[in-house]
Structure 1
Amino acid sequence: MSVETNRGARSVLVGLIGAGIQGSLSPAMHEREAREQGLACVYRRIDLETLGLDADALPALLEAAERMGYDGLNITYPCKQAVIPLLDELSEDARALGAVNTVLFKDGKRFGFNTDWSGFTRSFQSGLPDVSLARVVQLGAGGAGAAVAHAALGLGAEQLALFDVDHTRASSLAAELQRRFPAAKVTAGGSLPDAMRHATGLIHATPTGMAKLPGMPLPAELLHRDHWVADVVYFPIRTALIEAAQHAGCRTLTGGGMAVYQAVDAFRIFTGVEPNAERMYAHLQALLER
């Protein structure tokens, strides 16, 4: 619950639950924008890895956050789907996607939202506005994957081929997306080299490439100059995939835009205040350059 400080500024207490999130720039983005808006914001990292916990700790963590007066929480890997049974109400988007990245505590209830898909959509429209979406390959069918796949189809992807280490998860997501977007063709699995040979673009939505999980999500030789490549990982901003794609001559989109625009939407949910997206983007760029 938000309170008034002695200086008259409304204060907001929020946090991020996930694993390996010490490098997250969400706290800095939210706290800086809050100051610009005349709010006092405290944004805490609740790192499962540091605490020696896993997603099974979610019920206790949400209860503790509520009792301590948190206004809301961002939710990231590996909790975006596991958090859903713990919520009272879901936004239409979160329900459709089966993934939540923003939780609001209000009036004694827990409300779940998904700002990943809208963040990716806005970033893609800004960074790759004129690319072909005829045949898109996506790596990753988890919480972030569900959101960006939904966004890609909403942007007009004609064919979407999903690949995930958990084939059942990819198949389930493909079936749900096919139902939601009947005009498109959505498939799961098969030959990744064949899919990449015919693809116009690649979306990467797995944790591979993060500072704590360095590496490439696919062989670099599968990339060629006619591809565009969009990564959702933003820390580091230049992942091994982005480096390899640029070396191959591909047009690229880093995860920075999605990180900012999902935070823009989450800030609005937490505070009820319209943030300045351009200012938040400039702040993220400055943080990354450090």
Structure 2
Amino acid sequence: MSTTTTTTVTMQQEQPSLLHLRSHIDQLDKHGFLFGQKLTASMSPLLHDVVYKGLGLNWEQIRLDSTDMDLFLRLIRHPKFYGASVTMPHKVAIIPHLDELTEECRDVGACNTLFLRPRPGGGPRLLCGANTDVIGIRESFVQNIPDRSLYAGRPAMVIGGGGAARSAVYALHKWLGATCIYVASRDAAEVDAVVAECTQRAYGARLVHVETVEQAEALEAPGAIVACIPDFPPVSEGEKALRRITEVMLRKQRKGAILEMCYNPSPYTALGALAEAEGWQVILGTEALIWQGIEQDKYWTGRNTSELPVAQVKTAIAARLAQISKI
């Protein structure tokens, strides 16, 4: 397993942090950023460190813990900058600052990957946005569930209503063969927003807002579930109702596969344990992390998946998971 010495830059005391950052960048051939907040537990820099070491590249993804978009936009003008992972709270806020968006990024309305293209005719490089979260969700099912009939041609379900839920709806709709998609959240307004956005993109009619246990009991069992909520015990009435709806779906006679997107601080969640006890195939959220990260490195290095050290990445993430489970 590779051991990463990834630099973390927290912009609370900007001048000392920037001086340290510039000194560190001078030692690299290229650098990228993980831009967001609460980044300490993120496995993204570890994943990319394994890829770059496997390819013999003196590159590094640097944690940039900041809410300062203007600062980020200044830093990425550096000639050694290759791209960035963009996480909360910036996935939507970054979009107006980009020159081009991929189809997935545009349709989901959120960007988690910034990459560069030469500008025709010369000049500053084009800032381009992609959404590789959708690829991570797709590949989590494709790579881990050999029998596609377990989920394709059946309803699917998304638990939650945030950015990850939007990516899940897109992946289930476009690639995973869902006949319709149940959406349930602790907050009905979140689901309404998701349905409205998907309607604008011509697939809102395939979404079904599941609001009650009685409604859940009457629905056909989903084949694929993507859970996009934190691993906290339900406290509010909305959270308790969502858990009851989820339990109804998991206890239906026909089972399927569930991708538990939560992996921080651990991918071994209460919901995952409940699903496993009910006979579901559980896919850990670190699978989505791996495949979305590999897709990012395809943009940044120009290599195909077959040219990237995927096996080494899986080994490194598994070793980190073993450390987490011991803790």
Query: The TM-score by the shorter chain falls in which range?
Result: 0.7 to 0.9
Is the alpha carbon distance of 1:183 and 1:175 closer, same or farther for their aligned partners in structure 2, counting shifts above 3 Å? closer
* Number of equivalences: 272
1:280 is aligned to 313
2:151 is aligned to 132
1:122 is aligned to 139
- The structural deviation recorded for 1:156 is 0.8
Say which is worse superposed, 230-239 or 196-205, in terms of deviation. 196-205
Is the alpha carbon distance of 1:192 and 1:77 closer, same or farther for their aligned partners in structure 2, counting shifts above 3 Å? farther
Deviations 1:162-209 (A, max 9, x none): 234554443243244356565972133532563366332431123x12
Residue 37 in 1 paired to residue 64 in 2?
no
Secondary structure of the residue aligned to 2:161 is coil
Residue 205 in 1 paired to residue 228 in 2?
yes
Secondary structure of the residue aligned to 1:122 is helix
Residue 224 in 1 paired to residue 256 in 2?
no
2:81 is aligned to 70
- The structural deviation recorded for 1:60 is 2.9
Q: Which runs of 5+ in 2 are unaligned?
A: 1-24, 119-123
Say which is worse superposed, 151-160 or 76-85, in terms of deviation. 76-85
Say which is worse superposed, 221-230 or 88-97, in terms of deviation. 221-230
Is the alpha carbon distance of 1:43 and 1:192 closer, same or farther for their aligned partners in structure 2, counting shifts above 3 Å? farther
> Which whole-Å CA distance do the structure 1 matches of 2:46 and 2:139 have between them?
21
Give the partner amino acid of 1:117: V
Secondary structure of the residue aligned to 1:43 is strand
Residue 187 in 1 paired to residue 208 in 2?
yes
- The structural deviation recorded for 1:104 is 1.5
2:173 is aligned to 153
8 Å Cα contact 2:197/2:204 also seen in 1? no
RMSD: 2.9
2:69 to 41, 55, 58: 58
Say which is worse superposed, 82-91 or 182-191, in terms of deviation. 182-191
8 Å Cα contact 1:135/1:159 also seen in 2? yes
Q: Which runs of 5+ in 1 are unaligned?
A: none
Deviations 1:192-247 (A, max 9, x none): 563366332431123x12xxxx4466426443264432211223121221122112
Larger radius of gyration: 2
Is the alpha carbon distance of 1:193 and 1:285 closer, same or farther for their aligned partners in structure 2, counting shifts above 3 Å? farther
8 Å Cα contact 1:157/1:184 also seen in 2? no
1:20 is aligned to 38
2:93 to 58, 76, 82: 82
> Which whole-Å CA distance do the structure 2 matches of 1:172 and 1:258 have between them?
24
Give the partner amino acid of 2:318: Q
Deviations 1:34-58 (A, max 9, x none): 111111121111234xxxx4xxx32
Is the alpha carbon distance of 1:126 and 1:153 closer, same or farther for their aligned partners in structure 2, counting shifts above 3 Å? same
Deviations 1:58-111 (A, max 9, x none): 233232333484221101223212211121111121111111110014442211
1:233 is aligned to 262
- The structural deviation recorded for 1:256 is 1.6
Say which is worse superposed, 146-155 or 270-279, in terms of deviation. 270-279
TM-score (norm 2): 0.73
